[in-house]
Amino acid sequence: MAILNLIFEDDPMLRRVSRPVEAVTPRIEQLLDDMTETMRANNGCGLAAVQVGVLRRVVVIEVEPGEVLELINPRIIAWSGHQEEQEGCLSLPGKWGKTKRPAAVVVRAEDRTGREIEVRGDGLLCRALCHEIDHLDGKLFTDVLAEPLDDPQKDKKR
C-alpha cells in the first residue's frame, strides 16, 4: 500500500465529474487500499478517488474505526429529513462549515468483488456519503454551506 498525494482546492480536477468503473480490476483494488491508507494518514473519515487525482467513481469511508466502506460507482437512491452539521475536507485544509444535508440516505454501489450493495446511513455516515459522492460529481462541501465556521483546530495550532 502507498500514501497518495492529495490534490487541493485550487486544482481544477476537483470540479470534474468522475468516470464510472467498468470492471473491478487489480488496479482498482490497489486504489482502494491506497486510498484507505491515505485517508487514515491524513486523519480523514472519507476520501474520493478524485482527491488523489484519479477520475474514477471510487470512495472509501471510515466513520467507525476499523470499518472501512469501499464503494465503487456509488449513487444515492433515497434520502430523507434534513441536518445541518459541521464538515471539513482533506482537499480544503483549514476550511470548515455547517452544511445542509439529508438526515439519512440509502446508497447503492458495488464492493471490491463487483457485488452490488446498499448502505444506509444517518448522522456522520450520511454526511460522509453525501460529501464523497459530491466529490465524484465535481462538487465541494463549500457548495452546500449553510454557514462558514472557524477552523476548530486553530487554537490548538498556536
Active site residues: 132
Q: What angle do CA 64, 60, 77 make, to 5 degrees?
A: 95
d(CA 48, CA 72): 10
Q: Are strands 67-80 and 116-122 parallel, antiparallel or unpaired?
A: unpaired
Tell me which residue of 50, 48, 40, 45 sits closest to 11, measured CA to CA.
50
Tell me which residue of 121, 124, 87 sits closest to 107, measured CA to CA.
121
d(CA 16, CA 136): 8
Alpha helices of the chain — where are they, by DSSP H? 26-41, 123-136, 154-157
d(CA 104, CA 108): 14
